[in-house]
Chain A
Amino acid sequence: MHRSKLVRSAAVFLIAAAATVSVTLSARADLIQMKDGRTIDGVPMKLEADAIVLEYKSGKVRVPLTLVADYAIAGAAPFEPKTDEEKAKRAEGLVPYNGKWVKIEERDKALKAIAAKRQAELDEVRAHQEWRNRYKFASTNFTFESTLPPRLNDEYSALMETYFTEFKKSWGVKVPKDWGKLKVCFYNERKAFNQISGGRGGVLAYYRFVPPRELNFFYDPKSPRGTLDCMFHEANHYLTDLVDEQFQYPHWVNEAMAEYYGSSEWDPKSKKMQVGRIQEGRLAELKADIEAGKKLSLSDLIGKGDDAYEHYYWGWSFVHFMMSTPAYEKKFRDFFIDLAKSKEVKRDVGGFNFTEVSGDECLRFFMKRFGLKDTDVLQKEWYDYIDKLSLEGAGVRGMEEAGIAAYRRGATKFRAPRQLKAAIDRGSKNAEVYILYSKCLRFKGGDDNLAASLDVLEKALANDPLDADVVAEKAYVLNAMGRGDEAKQMIELAREMNPENPYLEMDIIEALSGND
């Protein structure tokens, strides 16, 4: 990740021209905007026919134009006529521009104007990345404060409104008059989120449920789907609060419901929100638990009354089971609403004067609503349901999550490399998948495996030449191959690309010190 801010500007556009053009910038640094929103600057750049070459001190990085949304590079590439017609026109003092032959001065004047406009747009977007200058705008049900560029602001605010409308319709909730619109704070990168929102450590997003209520999350260009997951998850906590503003749902169903809705997806064709998709990451965690012989019982899930992490994935699977099973869906929906509202439920006063329900009472009410004497039969049905859910059948993302989970569990010799390779073969562009697969091959050792390990990283760099983590991983492989000088150069390049990470892992320390 580059030190430069992550920006995608609404109004920037590529100059589409038959001939090579360049935008001359006076006294400005070169910069490129990637299609995923990153902006890279502070490095001299050269425009080639189909790529931009970034000239770092430690090496050159070639970025195909197919990955670039826009660029502004100093120094005009001169027009080199090739055909007789081009030579003749050049002799008349004409150059191609926008499909016409024009005088050089006319072209340069137009390019300067474009460059200046572009720079101004980029400067404006950059200025708004400082929180004190953040964009502030409102939609029907939300107010937004954001350091993202306008295009992304429009996109995400529209999704929030659609999500809200769908949930409101589905659950019959409404916003209390005195609450006003919910404030949503959106950050252009994780670093800004950590600093400005105060969400640190492993927090990816949060919803503040006491006044002033607000939602905080960040945009991750490496995982736009992950960004949406977080947004929908946290927004769901707000929507759940609307069921009864005085009631705090037990942790297990609060998080489980948020995970269920976190995987929502907007289908532009049917113009409908699809809910209840598989949460691959959570399914991966579930499968890992089961393989380790750990199963959360239904009575513990509903009745323990604690804040266990397992509620995010075991809880998700139970809600998914309930909401996807026609025989149970309505009962579960009624249970969910009535847990907050029904007079049959005994509630206590908890923190911040919210009412809450104990684990025992929650279990009692659940069993009553489902007509159960014990949880054994339903629990078996639930476990059978989980067994039928397959990561390997869940598409690219499922296989990614399975492979990553297997790696983290230590299955680096067989299962993790199999699943990671399968994810890559299915079209994964997730750099972490490539890095972990490369590590699996590197750990095996031997010339063939090291060569294969390097090859995997070259494929990752073809997806994204600017991923410093991949470049650093390449250094470790080269080091293992005995190519120490190249390894040193790669590490230096990785550090230039990402100055915030010194990439000093143990093996590279030993290599760079000259000790074997």
Chain B
Amino acid sequence: MAYWNSLVGRTAAVAVLVVVVAGPARAEQFKDEKLGYQLSYPKGWLKRPVAVDERWIVGKFECDREYESTDKKTGMFDRFRPWMDVVVLPLDLAKQKKKATVESGPGGVITSRSEVKWTNLREYLEIRLQEVEPGGFYFSKEEEATVNGYKVQQYEITVEKLVAVPKRVYAWAYATDDAYFCLISEAQIPYEDKLKGDILGAFRSFKAFPRTGALPNAATTGEDITVLDGKPKTGAEADKERKDAFDRRLRRVQDSVSGDKEWITRESDNFTAISHADAKYTKSVLDHAEALRAWLDEQLGYVGRGKPGKILIRICKDNDEYSALQGTGGFWSSDRVEIVTYRDREGWSNNTMSQVNSGIYDIWLRDKDKDFSYKMPNWIDGGLQSMVRNAVSKGRKIEFRPDAWDRVSMARAGAEGKLVQAKSFFTMTSDELYKGEGYQQAPYFVQYLMLGGAQKQAKFKDIFRNYMVELTLAVEEDRRKEKEGRAVEPGEERKAPENEQEEEAQLKARQTDFRKGEREFLDKLVAKVFEGWTFAEWDKLTKSYWAEVK
């Protein structure tokens, strides 16, 4: 396979010279001083942000309109917005690929670096197109050319199997002194004639010049896998680690938008917003975030011992910018400190704020006690999440407004006699929760207990808090057991099997261990929190709850 992988720079004179042609019709100019390249992109297209975690895409552009095509045979249609990515592949990658090293870092941290997945544009496309695009594709054209004095490898890729409408991907790799600058774009085949000229015009306009910044991915060998030593941290160490994580993230996000004056930074006590929306909207988001944070501190502050850290909120200009950002690499991880949202202009503001609400809740709870969120019975975890998602603020006050669909479902459940009994919430396993009506109704029960009718009755008003406190104690107990090397989960204490029959019996038992363990755990909590409760008291609780939600 003749992959083009030779080290070449600009050529002064060549046998075949492609004359420099003008960029796309009515073009916009773009120049990146840090990376040292410029090009013209089609007029009306937009420059999009790139996620800070994105390693390879350094520039992204999108058409300002969508195109729609329909397959007459199947009736399937596809909506499509033309885009163009700029990807930088250092020439050094070919050498780096062989180095998969393992190192010890400070504090006993083991870091292993796996190989890079690609060293040239063809390899990049073979892998990335499968990761980000549906459909089967092949390289329908592969040519070397000279453009503006650069050696350029040119590809056309046809995407035609298992897609509603076939597409063509265009990809050129310009060989500069130390890197391939790769331009990638695509068009649905029915619109190819309309778009190809502009796309290839943009490709032809590329020029490189000495950069002011560093070449991305030149020094590293690919994805880092970090294995932590798992030693428990002191409060001060955990706080420092959390603050460092926030500061690192903030720097990276600020760096990614530096030079673009449309992005503004605003601070509040517990949040930093980096926003492409107007200052007024940004302030409203921060005010709401602070109100929700205050509510969490007040209502659930007794959970865990951790100290919630600052959260970064990135506000995109609109849904298109948000979607483009999502398409260039993930911004979610298990230790995230950032929430991304956008200024809604299409009437989906409930949706955008629910993302902010969920993000604040998840990060806050994780900061307080990561283990607690895993141990919570699903009806509380799911119930709280659903409830918090619907939070709206009026000044500094938080209210919860259930979704219209949910309200209709609850009304219907009430009319059909399908409302779940109060005691059932406390005793149902996760299987039972998801099979029945419990999952949908849990947020209402949680809200009833925390903020609703339960708060007006002496017997009921502390139920939720007491239950959560007992849960916290159970989490602490599990941590103690782990530290002492004692079994935590059911079945862990079993001795090793001595023959095949015992092995089979233990494997069968393991199938039910989780469910048995979950049942025992829930029953233990109920026994502690509701000690001495009679059937009449449970009935009263149920009726009180039903009266509120019907």
Contact = CB atoms under 8 A, between A and B. Distances in A.
Most-contacted residue by chain B among A418, A513, A514 (CB, 10 A): A513
A328 interface: no
Interface in A184-200: 194-200
Interface string B89-128: 0000000011010111000101010110000000000100
A137 interface: no
A513 B508 contact: no
Given A291-B504, A413-B497, A413-B503, A198 B162 contact: yes
B103 A195 contact: no
Interface stretch (A63-71, A124-132, A466-474): A124-132
Interface residues of B, number: 40
B153 to A, nearest CB: 15
Contacts of A198: 134-137, 161-163
B496 A413 contact: yes
B380 to A, nearest CB: 30
Interface in A249-292: 291-292
Contact of A195 (B73, B110, B126): B126
Contacts of A131: 138-139
Q: Is the interface of B mostly helix, strand, loop or mixed?
A: mixed
Contacts of B73: 210-211
Contact of B100 (A211, A504, A515): A504
A504 B97 contact: no
Instruction: Give the interface centre of B136, B139, B504 by most chain A CB atoms within 10 Å.
Output: B136
B115 A509 contact: no
Interface string A103-124: 0000000000000000000000
Interface string B125-162: 01001100011111111000000000000000000011
A192 to B, nearest CB: 9
B227 A509 contact: yes
Nearest to B497: A413
Interface string A211-231: 100001000000000000000
Contacts of A129: 1
- Interface-central residue, B138, B163, B225, B496, by most chain A CB under 10 Å: B138
A101 interface: no
A352 B73 CA distance: 10
A411 B505 CA distance: 10
Given A131-B138, A216-B161, A515-B108, A509 B102 contact: yes
Nearest to A210: B74
Contacts of B511: 292-293
B493 interface: no
Contacts of B161: 196-198, 216
A495 B507 contact: no
B497 to A, nearest CB: 6
B497 A197 contact: no
A292 B508 contact: yes
Contacts of B114: 502, 504
A310 to B, nearest CB: 16
Nearest to B117: A500
Given A195-B137, A413-B496, A512 B102 contact: yes
A153 to B, nearest CB: 18
Interface string B39-78: 0000000000000000000000000000000000110000
Given A216-B161, A413-B503, A291 B100 contact: no
Interface string A474-516: 0000000000000000000001000100101010011011110
Contacts of B212: none
B110 A515 contact: yes
A197 B507 contact: no
A200 to B, nearest CB: 6
Interface of A: 5, 126, 129-132, 194-200, 208, 210-211, 216, 291-293, 352, 409-411, 413-415, 418, 495, 499, 502, 504, 506, 509-510, 512-515
Pairs of residues from A and B, 3 with the lowest C-beta to C-beta distance, nearest first = A198-B136, A198-B162, A131-B138
16 contacts: A131-B138, A132-B141, A195-B129, A195-B130, A195-B137, A198-B135, A216-B136, A292-B507, A292-B508, A352-B74, A411-B507, A413-B496, A414-B503, A415-B504, A418-B500, A515-B110
